[in-house]
Structure formats: C-alpha cells, structure tokens
Amino acid sequence: MNHYFKKIRLISPAQKIDKVVNLWVKDGIIEHCSEKEAKIDSKTKVIQSEKFVAAPGFFDMHVHLREPGFEYKEDIRSGCEAAANGGFTGVCCMPNTEPAIDHPTVVEFIKNKSEGLLTEVYPSAAITVKREGKLLSPMLELNDYGVVIFTDDGIAVSNPNIMKRAFEYAATKDLLLSQHCEDHSLTEDFAMNEGMVSTKLGLKGYPSVAEEIILSRDIMLAQYCGNRRYHASHISTEGSVRIIKEAKSRGLRVSCEVTPHHFSLTDSYIEGYDTNYKMNPPLRTEKDIEAIKEGLADGTIDCIVTDHAPHTLYEKEVEFERAPNGIIGLETAIGVSMTYLVHKKVLSLNQLIWKMSVNPRKILKLPEIVIKENEEANLTIFAPNEEWIVDADLFKSKSKNTPFTEMKFKGKPKFVINKGQIKESIL
C-alpha cells in the first residue's frame, strides 16, 4: 500500500529542512515531497498528518538481539520487529552472543537472518576472541565482512596493553573501538549505584569512579596511539560527561552515547526492589541525570541508544542481587526521550533527531539519509504530542523486562518506512 502523508512536518537536520509538506511514498520511493498537493492514484492511502513529524529513519547503535545463542530472550526477527514498532529503521547489534561475534561466519549468519527485514541490522564484533580480553579478534577481516564497530560489550577490556594493541591494530583501517567502561575490580557482585540508597538498602554498590577510570584510561590510550577513533558506550555519570567534554575540547576523536533510562530514572526507584530497574551501568543520582541532560544539550553526548537487553520473566523474577542486568528499550525510547528531553525543553526536535538518527550513522560511517523526490524512503514518523500509557503486552519484543510499564509518555512512534516496506506502530 502506498501512503500520502498530508501536511506533515518534515525535519531533516543534516539537510537543513524543517517545513510542512505533502509526502507521497510510492513503492518505497519518495514520489512527491512538496508544500504543493500531489495528484495521487487510487491505490494510495491518504493519512491526515498535521500532528505528525517525519524524520530520517531513527538508528539505535546499541542493541542486544541475543541471536545466536539466546533466542529464548530475543531473536533477530523479533528484535527487528520491536525496533520497527518503536520507530527504528536501523540497529547495530552487540557481540555478546554465543558464540560471540568474533568470526566472519557469525557475521554472515546475522546478515542472512536479517535480510529482507524493514529494520536493517549492522553487526558489531568483539575486540577480543570470545570477549575474553586476551587475544585480539581478526578486526580487519571482520570489517571487510561488514562490521561497523568493535567492542567486548558487557565486559571491559581490562588489560591496558591489550587495549593499546587494539588501537594500534585498528589504526590500519581507522576502525572504531568502543568500550563498556567498567573497572570490574571495583564492581564485583554489584547490585546498584554506590551511594546513599545502596547503603540504606544494604545492596552492594557500583561506584561511579569505576566507569570513569576505564574511560579516562582509554582516552589516554587512544591519544597515545595517534588520536584513534573511540566511542564510549552508555555513559552514566557526571564525571564521565566531564571527561568526554574535556577530551573533545582537545580535538580527540571521541564520541559517546547515553540511554533513556539514564536521563529519566534515578537509583531511588530501586527502593521497591523491582529487578526491572537493575542494569549495567546502574541507575545513578539526580546530579548525574542533570549532567547528562546538560551534556546532551551542549553536544558533549552525541547520541541516544537503548541498550535493549531482553531477559525472560523467570530470569528477572528472583532476588534483586541475583537478577541479570538489563532492560528492553526499543519500544519506549521515543516516548521517554520526547517526554524527558523535548517537552522539558532540554533538546529541540531537531537536536533529538540529530542524536537518534543523524549522529549514530555518522559515527558508524553509514550512508546519510537524504529525503527528497526519487530517493528511497527511509523514514521515522512520530506524533510529538500524542500521550500514551506503556503496555508491555503490545510490545513485539519476546521479553517484557521494562521499568516503564503503565507510565504515561508524550510522544509516540506512528510509522516506519524502509526497504520498500511500511509498518504502523501498535503501541
């Protein structure tokens, strides 16, 4: 079915476009994009879109699709359906699978499984074999097979000499290295952020400095090895924002990301011992949230990611300390981001689109989306002011481990269009 979005606000920041247009997508191609009306055919569905925004398709560069190895939590198809339902036309999947994404055969498996889906999947790969932090993976060969970023995500590369060698190896093709910043010697058996709440609840804490130590070390190594490209995953502390800002001021090629739960929820939510608030890095303090919002506003923080981490109900329904870390986030990201950032005037709509569409692709050196006539449509369409209440039963993800159940958000995904396909969100 072809679609004609009548009087929709089109925002494409990289193209410096922000205007109301009539947008006709026919057979996956932008047939008409103009303030003028189009003479559409009878096979085209007309959608009154005065309350909608069209943007370059949103991209989440930090997603756990769990396949291969943990398909009972999520698989590539269900993860991509969740992504489309949440407003994403592209994702980058993390390598903590079984086997890990550290060999071309696993990359090919993922590419084959995602072929033909509306949401495109770009694989990351491990920096070290089996994510063990000992031997470097064949990064150059993996890049030839389509890997766009390298990380041992979920585990930090603790040995500085291994990380130094990784930067040196990556330099031959200017590959992008990323790190889950955590000094594991300071966080062993942690349950939550170290602070007043952890003391009150008697839970083992994860000190903020554990994140900042590895972040600082890696930035120094990246600089020492010739100003190599480096991306810090899901930063969560005031100190990390400050470290990134200082590194950028010195011209270092450093980028970073933050998740919606780290700018919307504090560690005080854990007082109810709900394991859907347990993640890594953990929820921090109000002071950290304010620093993250400031970092988003001033450009220190480049992009918003979900760190979508599915777990089954039985895995999460255990004592808080024993529960696995992680929450799902693909289907709530637009709602949380609009509610806590745009409607609270932390970011403008243009800035949000930079951080959820333009910047992730730029960091990963993916093609820029161009919205104009005769181009293939790759679009996220959302309603900025539509209120909705989160109902996990409507999620396409196999898992339901979200802390946002029954919360009300303002800003809702409506449609995604990509690869000649269109899907309407059912949230």
Angle (CA) 335 340 344, round 5°: 125
Examine the domain organization and report whether 325 and 415 are in the same domain: no
Within the chain, which residues score under 50 in pLDDT? Answer: none
Examine the domain organization and report whether 413 and 278 are in the same domain: no
pLDDT recorded at residue 174 = 98
Q: Of 336, 363, 390, which marks where a domain is finished?
A: 363
Closest by Cα among 380, 389, 427 to 408: 389
Check which CATH number belongs to the domain holding 314 and give it: 3.20.20.140
What total of structural domains would you count in the chain? 2
pLDDT recorded at residue 293 = 98
Examine the domain organization and report whether 347 and 382 are in the same domain: no
Domain of 376 in residue numbering reads as 2-54+372-424
Examine the domain organization and report whether 17 and 87 are in the same domain: no
Examine the domain organization and report whether 341 and 318 are in the same domain: yes
pLDDT recorded at residue 1 = 74
Which segments of 49-164 are extended strands (E)? 53-56, 58-63, 88-93, 120-123
Is residue 257 a contact partner of residue 235, using CB atoms and an 8 Å limit?
Answer: yes
Question: Hey, how many other C-beta atoms are within 10 angstroms of the C-beta on 362?
Answer: 16
Examine the domain organization and report whether 409 and 333 are in the same domain: no
41 in active site: no
Check which CATH number belongs to the domain holding 406 and give it: 2.30.40.10
pLDDT recorded at residue 340 = 98
Q: What is the pLDDT of residues 80-108, one digit of tens each?
A: 999 999 999 999 999 999 999 999 999 99
Is residue 293 a contact partner of residue 268, using CB atoms and an 8 Å limit?
Answer: no
Examine the domain organization and report whether 229 and 334 are in the same domain: yes
Q: Of 344, 363, 382, which marks where a domain is finished?
A: 363
Examine the domain organization and report whether 151 and 98 are in the same domain: yes
Q: Of 320, 342, 363, which marks where a domain is finished?
A: 363
pLDDT recorded at residue 363 = 98
> Of residues 274, 307, 391, 393, which has the active-site annotation?
307
Examine the domain organization and report whether 311 and 400 are in the same domain: no
Examine the domain organization and report whether 209 and 338 are in the same domain: yes
Examine the domain organization and report whether 69 and 211 are in the same domain: yes
Q: What percent of the chain has pLDDT over 70?
A: 100
Examine the domain organization and report whether 296 and 347 are in the same domain: yes
